[in-house]
Amino acid sequence: MNPQEARKILAEADLICSAEESALAVRRVAAEITARLADANPLVLAVMGGAVVFAGQLLPQLVFPLDFDYLHVTRYGDVTTGGQLAWIVEPRSAVEGRVVLVVDDILDEGVTMAEIAKRLRAQGASEVLTAVFADKNIGRGKPIAADFVGVSLPNRYVFGYGMDVKGAWRNLPAVYAVKGL
């Protein structure tokens, strides 16, 4: 997508969650995670590339010892509908015997997060918890529920705060919905 197309999408989009609301949600999630994991020395795994913004804002607010790594798995790539799960990068850190907190931008259909949790458990994680900035209300059940949720979003095509629209606008501090979708 060229910059002009990206700017047009943003100009026509509906604001769903402001930057201020986003920041408050991250603070609340950080407090919930701290209450649950402060003594666990967890391994925190960010799911690239969507989790970059959320993880970057969340980690400095987790004032307890933890290890950090990342993984890269996707069902979307640069398309808008989910496909087959592709593991691009596995975590370098061993998960066996660890409490693992998986951090991602959005729990959409839940298929990707469910597969990540399943794989980490198979690798011997003692507990797998999940934190998402956004949980999309898709109107049906999901194979996994996030343990920590920043905001709930309507079932629309959303972008910003780590979520992209055709590769653009992950860097926005707020969440928008594409007009008409």
Active site residues: 108
Identify the three-state secondary structure at position 20: helix
Identify which of 150, 108, 143 has the alpha carbon closest to the alpha carbon of residue 17: 150
CA distances from 147 to 20, 30, 117, 140, 158 (A): 23, 12, 12, 18, 21
**Long-range interactions of 1-9: CB distance < 8 A, separation 24+:** 1/165, 1/166, 1/167, 1/168, 6/165, 6/166, 6/168, 6/169, 9/159, 9/165, 9/168, 9/169, 9/178
Cβ atoms < 10 Å from Cβ of 144: 18
Non-local (6+) Cβ contacts of 62 within 8 A are 30, 33, 34, 37, 44
Q: Are 118 and 128 in contact, with CB atoms under 8 Å apart?
A: no
